Amino acid sequence: MPGRLLKSAIFGVFLAAAFPAAVLCGFGRWETSFGFFATAYAMAPGILGDYLRIAFYRMTLAECSLTSRIQFGSFFAHPSARLGSRVYIGSYCILGKAVIGANTQIASGVQILSGRHQHPRSETGTILGSEEGAFQEVAIGPNCWIGAAAIVMADVGAGSTVGAGSVVSRPIPPASVAVGSPARVVKQADGREPSKQALPKGQ
């Protein structure tokens, strides 16, 4: 009980510290100022930075659990993101419109993009602005492991593992191990061969 009270008091201190920034970005409603503070807090070092980041996102993301941890250099680019309980996010990750389930662990250098079609071209081939793009929510289920430097552009099912450096461009079924670029399911999480019925078309 004393430990729980102490932890609550610590979180209270950091929530108070992050409160002015949360107010200045309209608690996530004003994306320009949200982006400023998100990248600024990403540079806060050590465990104090971890507490400060999670306190800020608790007040600005669509959903964020105080039991999660976000390490140095990592930030969310969109306030519509949702972060479950006991999620670990390593250093130097960039996260877009992500929904991350409970107990998922994300290694360093991972990018979770807001879908695959953010920068379309005009009829003349000119790249259009991001406001013309199709931002999509990318969901990573609970109890997943996303390896270092992976790029995730499509959903990852619950209990799945994505290998380091993999590029997820198509949905990964639950309880799968996927590796490569593009990521392909090589086995189920329990070591069995993948079920053909569970694989996305083309795998």
Rounding to the nearest 10 degrees, give the CA dihedral for residues 47, 53, 163, 197. 140
Q: Which domains does the chain have, with CATH numbers?
A: 2-190 (2.160.10.10)
Q: What is the DSSP string of 82-150?
A: EE-TT-EE-TT-EE-SEEE-TT-EE-TT-EE-S-SBSS-B-TTSPBPPGGGSB---EEE-TT-EE-TT-
pLDDT of residue 133: 52
> SS3 letters for 20-80?
HHHHHCHHHCCHHHHHHHHHHHHCCCHHHHHHHHHHHHHHHCCEECCCCEECCCCEECCCC
Contact present, 154 and 173 (Cβ < 8 Å): no
Mean pLDDT by 10 residues, the chain (203 residues): 76 94 96 96 95 97 96 96 97 97 98 72 62 76 98 97 97 96 89 60 51
Q: Structure pTM?
A: 0.85
63 forms bridges with which residues in the sheet? 82
Q: Which helix (H) or strand (E) holds 2?
A: helix 2-24
Catalytic center residues: 117
pLDDT given for residue 136 in this prediction: 87
Helix axes 46-60 and 31-42, enclosed angle (nearest 10): 160
- For residue 197, the model assigns a pLDDT of 46
